[in-house]
């Protein structure tokens, strides 16, 4: 199977890239599950962009991003990406996204989220990701040059060496719904694989978010950066000891308050911005209150808003809570921090360029430096669109001027090729049960060692256990191998940063300073 462009991932970044590429190119989009299943479609809050020039500015958006990123953002990338915000919103509107407007339809309705100094969140109620993704997916399905392949999981990259001795990517090795693994070759390969939340026990991410893109790129020779910065969303719905869904930060933007079980508000004690502080600060504040008082969760109260208003502005949150017997017009919502977003990933320029020729990375799998040590709310969907459009322009220009890379029979995999048997390694029930147990063990290990707080002892223990797990792998355990590689990258990055910064909190920080 050969394409001009192979896009691995069908979230917002992948679909925006497919639609932005020239229609004369043959494009294949691989979907790990169905095309509808992705983290982008689960995004509630919205897209950050400066749309009110009278009361806001690109510079203000830049400064809010730099502050939230705890001094580790790459400022040129921040400025380049945020400057394209209005154009990205206009492109989405042209693609059929109907963002909420003011009652008189004179302008877009803007809301506010933590870390933002102004209202600049463009949204579709609290279902922004779903609305945007559905609009772009419909456009992709209408394009004859775009082929969406559901149930196709890329697990390794195909690489080779060109005439100058430089490594280039020629596609990916893919598990299919039926039949043996298959090589999908392409002139250009795009990683749009999203996040890695599923390496933790509790996450807002869908089951497909296992970090495959980071693992594949690392083995192919790409630099991986900022992996220690895993953002924990402060307010995941907490039911029976588990995360049951995301409670959008936009509620706090509309006045929701975080409370202890007795009704006491606690955020003003932790930060002068209170509930509108950046996510890392709010998440740590909640965690510290939970630890100090032996709580399983805290409460988020939006009951000061009328029921009709809540139903109109937050229908998804209203329905999610109602399914668990919570009436948000009356009852406070039980919430706790939960693994949510990877600020780091494959080192990439704003146009998706990576260290490997022919391999591009966009969206959450990439690390441009926009997020630094902590992502500012709603900057991620903007990054997906801006990177996708910039990358499409670059690929189009490259294809117009380049000679095709030779597709030799000796293309390399980053690890030995799989045995060509039935569609996956899970050919027996016993193996499936064993594999599921290994995944749960890995999640528990990461939640303990690299969750909200880290320490040298816990990270060292995790390193030893991950090394042991890697040595026990069979050659066909592709999914677990990718997860272990990603976990090793997170743990190694966390070990190498002894001081707390942004989303990375070391409880042994003082010991590190003394040493």
Return the active site residues.
279
Query: How far is residue 413's CA from residue 45's CA, in Å, rounded to a whole number?
Result: 39
Containing 467, the helix (H) or strand (E) segment is helix 456-471
As beta bridge partners, residue 232 has 339
Query: How far is residue 194's CA from residue 8's CA, in Å, rounded to a whole number?
Result: 10
Provide long-range contacts, Cβ within 8 A and 24+ apart, for 396-400.
396/21, 396/22, 396/25, 398/188, 399/4, 399/25, 399/187, 399/188
Beta carbons of 326 and 333 less than 8 angstroms apart: yes
Task: Return the structure tokens found at 183.
Answer: 């090589």
Q: Beta strands of 274-383 (E only): which ranges?
A: 298-301, 333-342, 345-347, 359-361, 366-367
Separation in Å, CA 492 to CA 226, 435, 469, 497: 11, 24, 16, 9
Separation in Å, CA 28 to CA 146, 341, 358: 6, 26, 15
DSSP-assigned letter for residue 265:
B
Task: Return the structure tokens found at 293.
Answer: 């008082």
Containing 123, the helix (H) or strand (E) segment is none
Alpha-carbon torsion, ordered 194, 200, 204, 206, to 10 deg: 50
Query: How far is residue 232's CA from residue 280's CA, in Å, rounded to a whole number?
Result: 7
Query: How far is residue 342's CA from residue 238's CA, in Å, rounded to a whole number?
Result: 21
């Amino acid at each position: 199977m050969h394409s001009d462009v192979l896009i691995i991932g069908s979230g917002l970044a992948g679909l925006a890239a497919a639609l932005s590429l020239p229609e004369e190119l043959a494009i294949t989009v691989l979907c790990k599950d169905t095309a509808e299943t992705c983290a982008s479609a689960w995004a509630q809050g919205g897209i950050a962009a400066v749309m009110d020039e009278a009361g806001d500015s690109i510079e203000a958006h830049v400064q809010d991003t730099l502050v939230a990123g705890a001094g580790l953002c790459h400022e040129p990338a921040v400025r380049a990406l945020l400057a394209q915000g209005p154009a990205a919103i206009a492109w989405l509107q042209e693609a059929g996204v109907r963002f909420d407007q003011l009652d008189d339809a004179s302008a877009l309705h803007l809301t506010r989220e933590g870390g933002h100094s102004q209202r600049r969140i463009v949204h579709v109620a609290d279902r922004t990701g779903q609305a945007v993704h559905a609009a772009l997916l419909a456009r992709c399905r209408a394009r004859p040059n775009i082929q969406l392949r559901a149930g196709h999981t890329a697990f390794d990259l195909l690489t080779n060496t060109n005439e100058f001795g430089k490594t280039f990517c020629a596609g990916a090795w893919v598990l299919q719904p039926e039949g043996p693994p298959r090589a999908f070759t392409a002139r250009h390969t795009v990683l749009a694989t999203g996040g890695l939340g599923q390496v933790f026990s509790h996450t807002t991410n869908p089951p497909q978010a296992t970090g495959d893109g980071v693992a594949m790129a690392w083995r192919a020779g790409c630099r991986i950066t900022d992996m220690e910065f895993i953002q924990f969303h402060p307010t995941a719905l907490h039911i029976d000891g588990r995360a049951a869904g995301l409670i959008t930060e936009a509620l706090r933007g509309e006045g929701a308050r975080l409370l202890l079980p007795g009704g006491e508000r606690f955020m003003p004690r932790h930060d002068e911005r209170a509930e509108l502080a950046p996510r890392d600060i709010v998440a740590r504040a909640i965690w510290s209150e939970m630890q100090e008082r032996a709580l399983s969760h805290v409460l988020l109260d939006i009951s000061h808003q009328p029921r009709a208003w809540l139903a109109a502005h937050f229908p998804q949150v209203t329905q999610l809570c109602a399914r668990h017997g919570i009436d948000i017009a009356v009852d406070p919502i039980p919430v706790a921090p939960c693994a949510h977003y990877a600020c780091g990933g494959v080192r990439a320029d704003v146009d998706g360029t990576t260290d490997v020729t022919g391999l591009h990375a966009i969206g959450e799998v990439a690390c441009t430096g926009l997020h630094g040590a902590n992502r500012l709310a709603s900057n991620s969907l903007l990054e997906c669109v801006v990177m996708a459009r910039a990358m499409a322009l670059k690929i189009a220009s490259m294809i117009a001027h380049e000679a095709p890379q030779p597709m030799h029979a000796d293309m390399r995999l980053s690890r030995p090729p799989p045995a060509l048997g039935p569609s996956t390694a899970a050919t027996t029930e016993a193996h499936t049960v064993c594999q599921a147990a290994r995944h749960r063990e890995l999640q528990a290990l990461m939640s303990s060692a690299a969750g909200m707080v880290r320490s040298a002892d816990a990270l060292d223990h995790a390193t030893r256990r991950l090394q042991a797990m890697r040595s026990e792998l069979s050659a066909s355990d592709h999914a677990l191998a990718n997860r272990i590689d990603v976990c090793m990258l997170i743990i190694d990055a966390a070990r190498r940063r002894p001081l707390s910064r942004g989303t990375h909190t070391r409880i042994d920080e003082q010991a590190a300073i003394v040493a």
